[in-house]
Structure 1
Amino acid sequence: MSKKQLIQSTIILTFANLFTKFLGFYYRIYMSEAIGAEGMGLYQLIMPLYALAWSVTSSGFTTTVSRLTARESARGETGNMGRIVKQALGMCLVLSAAAGAILFFGAEQISAGILHDGRAALSLRLLAFAIPLMAAGSCLRGFFMGLQQMQVPALSQVLEQIVRLLTIFLLADLFVPLGLSYACFAAVCGIFAGETLSFGFTLFSYLRFKRRRKLIKRPSLSSRSAAFVILSMALPLAATRISSSLLSAAENILIPGRLQAYGYSAEKSLALYGELTGMAMPLLLLPSAFLMAASTSLVPEITQSCAAGQSRRLSRTVSASLLFTSVISVGAACFFAVFPKEICYLIYGKPELGRLLLPLAFLCPLLYGQTTLSGLLNGLGEHIFLFWSHILSSAITIAFVWFAMPIYGISAFLAGWFLSLLLTTALALLRLKGATGGMPSPLSCLGKPLLAGLGTALPIRFLILNGTPSKPFFLLTFSGMGLLYLLLLFLLGCLSKETLFPSGKSL
């Protein structure tokens, strides 16, 4: 992949991710006001099941279709591209139909026996119909990612989020007065409507692309060979995502119950869980939209570099990616740590949420680092390593939730999460360095961004303390902080055109 293609792909996905993240924030802000913290907690109980369904039906196939499409496109085997998409799509639909049936017919048992809240049953039944649409759409998006045509995946994300937002606006006043179960159902209606339109748009784009490019060349791969190739790649990827989703779901399901063991009431436990996972965490992850886009684009870039034996290009890509991650994550950590109450007041109108955002801020470098490291290691084919790494991370967190949370409350979860991220990040860095040799210096990667972050945040903090508190004032000062941070990074020599994008046709 040329440097221009990589930059263009990353920019397109970055803007799409940022736009959808901001829409998602507005969506969550409106939801938190409409259904309250307890309603957000019920909604967040359901979402790990949806993530698990995506892992089972879609996760491995999306990346596999992307990688195989890129490979067959480079070989000029357009017929194989079409066969691979059809085979993968068929497998996705079979799996998603089975998953949807389990969720629909087992909604009562799942909500009462697993989620421990029978009010989730109605939402689970509707969510079952969204799973096949999600799976098929993800598979088709993998095709366009493999061709580095990021416009279609980007637009599908934007459309999905817009429809979610419009749906909750239209249905909230109708369903919320009927109770918490129906309020959560209104939010799930947004998911179903968003997935429907996103799939329709992606399918239309695929059929239009296929007709225009005339992908009618006779495939050299037989149906059996295509299925074997797809499964040989998809199964290890899916195993990693499924195990991660299962363990993540276990974490999220356990947290409200262990908070009750700590001494909170059922209502307060669900409300605190909703504030943590439905409000504070999404806010923390907003800057990672930049890294999600880069991570997606890195998979084919790293794969091509390895296949071509271009070790120097591979090392440069790794170093630039980690440096970019450090700049984003350290800056975000300083921002959230110095202004937790002001940010929560600006976004949610609830400065008291700052008590949750402050400790989460210190996780940013590790949490964001996981995104980039996963993209790099996926490109290197290190699926087995990622599988065991995710299991180790979740096992540590679950142990803290189960044993320590009844004694120390929410602090135990945060401590366990920090320890798991620290350990798995260190292991991933060692694995990456051994495989590529690419690693930026600690001074450039951590020292200079931290100096720039503190040099920006502390003066802005002084300005805020001596100013008149208001949302426009906070928004203006935070915008100034972002610009000052970038300026200091360049002055310190941490960022430059040559550092991020070395000269030449490719990275």
Structure 2
Amino acid sequence: MKKSSPFVQGTLILTAANIFSRFIGFYNRIFLAGLIGAHQMGVYQLIFPIYLVGFALCFHGYETALSQIVAAQMAKGRPENCRKILKITLAVTILLSVICACFFYFFADELCMKFLHEKDCIPCLKAAVFAMPFVGVKACIHSYHIGLGKPGLPSVSLCIEQISRILGIYAVSVTFFLKLETPALIAVLGMVAGEMASCLYTVIYHLLKTKRQSSGLPAASSRKLFGSLLSLSFPLTCNSLSITLLQSLENILIPLMLTRFYCNQHYSVEVYGILTGMAIPFINFPSSITNSISVMLLPKVSAATAEQDYRTLHRATKYSLSFCFLLGIVSFFLFFTLGPSIGLIVFHSKEAGMFLRMLSFLCPVLYLSGTLSSILNGLGKTKTTLFNNSVSLLLRIAFIVFVVPLVGINGYLWGLMASTLLVVIMHYRKIK
């Protein structure tokens, strides 16, 4: 019997872990929606425009670059360089994450009131920053193993994170939840507990189970490896930071523009919570498969490019995109048909069901966008990815500013569809 490729095996492992964690995540959101309500779900979602800026600065560029470097070095038979670049990346990300966490903690009041206009976000942001160093360590080790083509550790770690998050939320809900001045804080504390537990497992597993391979050759100098890391991570970080800033601006503007339409800030944050905390995560559920493909594609594309193996590159791209598009078509029919019923049964919300039906038209292109971005990054076309994503987000922001105040949340959904379709067309034209 022919043995399946590491790419297929890795994708299946990551998919299984993602599906399991998404199911747990759905239970978590259903439980939270009943416990703290749609408005506090919106408060919880509001901290991420600021929180994710820290992620973009400290992690995203470095972890993606690390995965690419490890894949390329292993293709050349240099495992010593892989271990050394991991240590360098860990030192950089830990330092950056601690600095960023301290900044967010001490300036939380000014950031939340000036940009979010919601005082309940202040304690949530202060609590969330404690997870940042743990996320940094975990992200580096996961990227190292993805670069090696071994997704087992990231998969199990993801499941542990979700289980720990649920247990943390439950522990708070039965102990001192009533003493919390801001109910949304329970979701943040659960998130911090999940990241800590997942990081602890990741570090222990890596130290105890990772085998030290050797080629018998001396490792490259730290200066050379650090230079390689910076040369790859700098454009990726700029890309991630630019996109995150635009996404943060988008998420800050949505409740503000909704307030202009509804003339009620409380209801606007509630609608924002239903959309981003209930409907969009459900639409993103099938992306647990496409995300796995994207994660495994990046090191495979990087390795194939380093080896000039264009046949493998073409096959991996062709089959991945075909599968993602087919999944999008199936998901469209599923959510368009069952969306209203899902909203009522799962979240007891007619609005959530309405959003699911409207967002179903997004599925065929939504699941393609992440895979196309991963292929472009693996090919080293980070500037193209940055430009395309920026244009897409600017279009979406234009819809938020000019259309949402006139027609409400439907304006945002129209902008989401138009921008996603645009970025898929731009990505595909460049790859083709």
**TM-score, shorter chain, exceeding 0.5:** yes
Q: Which residue of 1 aligns with 2:339?
A: 340
- 1:193-212 aligned at under 5 Å gives the runs 193-210=193-210, 212=211
214 and 147 in structure 1: CA distance in 2 versus 1, 3 angstrom threshold? closer
70-79 vs 370-379, which deviates more?
70-79
C-alpha distance in structure 2 between counterparts of 1:70 and 1:302, whole Å: 9
Q: What displacement does 1:308 show?
A: 2.8
The two structures have a TM-score, normalised by structure 1, of 0.82
Distance 1:183 1:83 in 2: 44
Aligned to 2:13: 12
Determine the structure 2 residue equivalent to 1:154. Answer: 155
Change (3 A) 1:306 1:82: closer
Offset at residue 47 of structure 1 (A)? 2.2
Distance (Å, rounded) in 2 between the aligned partners of 1:175 and 1:255: 32
Q: Look at both structures and tell me which one has the larger radius of gyration over its CA atoms.
A: 1
Distance 1:174 1:265, change over 3 A: farther
CA positional deviation for 1:315: 2.1
Larger RCO (CA within 8 A; separation ≥ 6): 2
1:439 is aligned to: none
What's the offset of the Cα at 1:176? 4.4
Match of 2:277 in 1: 278
Q: How does 1:250-269 map to 2 (within 5 A)?
A: 250-269=249-268
Question: 2:355 is matched by which residue type in structure 1?
Answer: L
Aligned residues: 430
User: Aligned pair in 2 of structure 1 residues 133, 217: CA closer, same or farther (>3 Å)?
Assistant: farther
- Residue number in structure 1 paired with 2:123: 122
Q: 1:298 to 1:40 in 2, by over 3 A?
A: same
Q: How far is the alpha carbon of 1:77 from its aligned partner?
A: 2.2
Deviation at 1:50, TM superposition (A): 2.6
The corresponding residue for 2:369 is 370
Q: CA deviation at 1:313?
A: 2.7
Query: For residues 280 and 188 of structure 1, do their structure 2 counterparts lie closer, same or farther at Cα, with a shift above 3 Å needed?
Result: same
Structure 2 residue identity aligned to 1:128: V
1:56 — aligned with what?
A: 57
Q: Provide the rounded CA distance (Å) in 2 between the counterparts of 1:105 and 1:332.
A: 44
Partner-residue secondary structure (3-state), 2:289: helix
1:90 paired with 2:95, answer: no
Instruction: Name the structure 2 match of 1:413.
Output: 412
- Cα deviation code 1:20-54 (max 9, x no counterpart): 11111111110000000001000000123232222
User: Which residue in the other structure is 1:475 paired with?
Assistant: none
Note if 1:289 corresponds to 2:267: no
Q: Check conservation: 2:68, 2:378, Cα contact below 8 A.
A: no
Q: Distance in 1 between matches of 2:83 and 2:396?
A: 42
Residue 466 (structure 1) aligns with: none
Whole-Å Cα distance in 2 between the matches of residues 346 and 10 of structure 1?
31
Cα distance 1:330–1:346, how it changes in 2: closer, same or farther (>3 A)? same
What amino acid sits opposite 2:399 in the alignment? F
Equivalent residue runs for 1:39-438 within 5 Å: 39-178=40-179, 181-210=181-210, 212-213=211-212, 219-433=218-432
Q: Which deviates further from its counterpart, 327-336 or 311-320?
A: 311-320
- Amino acid in the other structure paired with 1:93: I
Structure 2 unaligned runs (5+)? none
Q: Deviations over 1:103-145 (max 9, x none)?
A: 1101111111111111111111111111111011101111111
Once the two structures are overlaid, the 10-residue window that deviates more, 45-54 or 214-223, is 214-223
Provide Cα deviations, 1:336-380, integer angstroms capped at 9, x if missing partner.
112211122332233442211111110111111101111211221
Contact 2:358 2:413 in 1 (8 A): yes
Q: How does 1:31-46 map to 2 (within 5 A)?
A: 31-46=32-47
Q: CA deviation at 1:398?
A: 0.9
Structure 1: gaps of 5 or more residues: 434-507
CA deviations 1:311-335 (Å, max 9, x no partner) are 3332222221111011111110111
Calculate the TM-score normalised by the size of structure 2: 0.95
Q: Does the 8 Å contact 1:34/1:176 carry over to 2?
A: no
Residue 305 of structure 1 and its aligned partner are, at CA, apart by: 2.4
Give, in whole Å, the separation in 2 of the partners of 1:278 and 1:27: 11
Q: What's the RMSD between the two structures over aligned residues? A: 1.7
Q: CA deviation at 1:3?
A: 5.2
Quote the Cα distance in structure 1 between the aligned partners of 2:6 and 2:43.
42
CA contact (8 A) 2:262 2:268 kept: no
Q: Which moved more, 1:59-68 or 1:5-14?
A: 59-68
Distance 2:407 2:240 in 1: 30
CA deviation map 1:387-428 (0-9, x unaligned): 011111111111111122111111111111111111111111
Whole-angstrom CA distance in 2 between matches of 1:384 and 1:320: 25
Identity of aligned residues (%): 33
Q: Bigger CA drift: 28-37 or 61-70? A: 61-70
Residue identity opposite 1:193 in structure 2: A
